[in-house]
Structure 1
């Protein structure tokens, strides 16, 4: 879902141990299973343990630049250096190591299969939605349905200083669907076995 941000993928070499030591600001949301965000509507914060380092880095850089609009994440990302981002990305990308998604997901209901084909979702995110063709694209299999729904809708928002994601590829795709159809897609993708997790973490390490 991050197509046009590929060029912003991490360039600095990340250090896992350094990332672990810098993750205190992340733990309060991403280290608590079921934790919810109330902006722009109530939804679970995304699972990031197991995402690729390139995607995590690209997302944080997009928040820092304002290409992804979310006041809290913009503030956090704005406090990070390129090295901080690379270290956090290295830490979280290996945080669910050893979990591998099945090569083929369960068949989608006919109506959802038609929506997936219309959006050409597998062409970027992989047949199992866990092997994107570019590492700066996210794994979406098994991600929280309510988060996916909010994220998908955000790509279609224009001219709002607080909500939206500046990605012309995803923006064009999302505008093909109604909100009800986006919710169908999100609900299905959440049921697909994936490689993402929320790993409980202690602030005291």
Structure 2
């Protein structure tokens, strides 16, 4: 009898697992394009600046990986990222909405993009020392040697991203316990806390100057193509 119950339980678990996999959300570029109303006001304007938690350009998200965009939105929704505006927006999104938006932005502006160089420009000695400060967990171990080839979909492309945004983001990982500006991520928190703010700025400045896929693409319904 016990053997029968064990077998039935195993089958039930297997069925649940298969069902969960079958229900995995797949994003639609077409549907995502219809859901950008709350995104374009900041991410669709070239050079647009936010003022919280300090003045900085909003991140470029066109060309970012879909998996990362989805995971970032989920982090805002579940509170791992505390930014009030982004949390409020993420709270209105379903898992399907996140997947659709991620699919849309991951391909936006990529159709005519030029191939990236195989190797990034070498940093100066001081920045190189920052990148490899933790030899077992250097920045390039996750983000790639050129900062645009992450080792995992949940890791963002960083090359070419705005330096002031990168600085703010890294400082937020240092403030993971803060109620309205922190970011909770065990890996990034441990890494960011090893750097002084001026070191973060130097690292961000180098990464922002690298060629990358990221860009801001103004939407035609709000901006004329003159």
Whether these two folds match at TM > 0.5 is yes
Q: 1:203 to 1:161 in 2, by over 3 A?
A: farther
Indicate the SS of the match to 2:52: coil
Aligned counterparts of 2:25 and 2:76: Cα–Cα separation in 1:
18
1:107 counterpart residue number: 122
Deviation string, structure 1 residues 68-101 (Cα, Å, up to 9, x no partner): 1100000000000000000000000000214332
Mapped pair 1:58 → 2:71 = yes
Indicate the SS of the match to 1:22: coil
1:92 counterpart residue number: 105
Q: 1:158 to 1:130 in 2, by over 3 A?
A: closer
Aligned counterparts of 2:204 and 2:213: Cα–Cα separation in 1:
16
Aligned counterparts of 1:84 and 1:161: Cα–Cα separation in 2:
26
Q: 1:190 to 1:204 in 2, by over 3 A?
A: closer
Structure showing greater relative contact order (alpha-carbon pairs closer than 8 Å, 6 or more residues apart) = 1
Number of residue pairs the alignment of both structures matches: 195
Q: TM-score, normalised by structure 1?
A: 0.92
1:18 counterpart residue number: 31
RMSD: 1.3
Indicate the SS of the match to 1:151: helix
Over alpha carbons, which structure has the higher Rg?
A: 2
Matches within 5 A, 1:122-137: 122-137=140-155
Aligned counterparts of 1:197 and 1:158: Cα–Cα separation in 2:
28
How big is the shift at 1:173? 0.6
- Tell me, yes or no, if the aligned pair for 1:101 and 1:128 is still in contact at 8 Å: no
Aligned counterparts of 1:164 and 1:203: Cα–Cα separation in 2:
34
- Tell me, yes or no, if the aligned pair for 1:124 and 1:134 is still in contact at 8 Å: yes
- Tell me, yes or no, if the aligned pair for 1:53 and 1:93 is still in contact at 8 Å: yes
Mapped pair 1:39 → 2:39 = no
Q: TM-score, normalised by structure 2?
A: 0.84
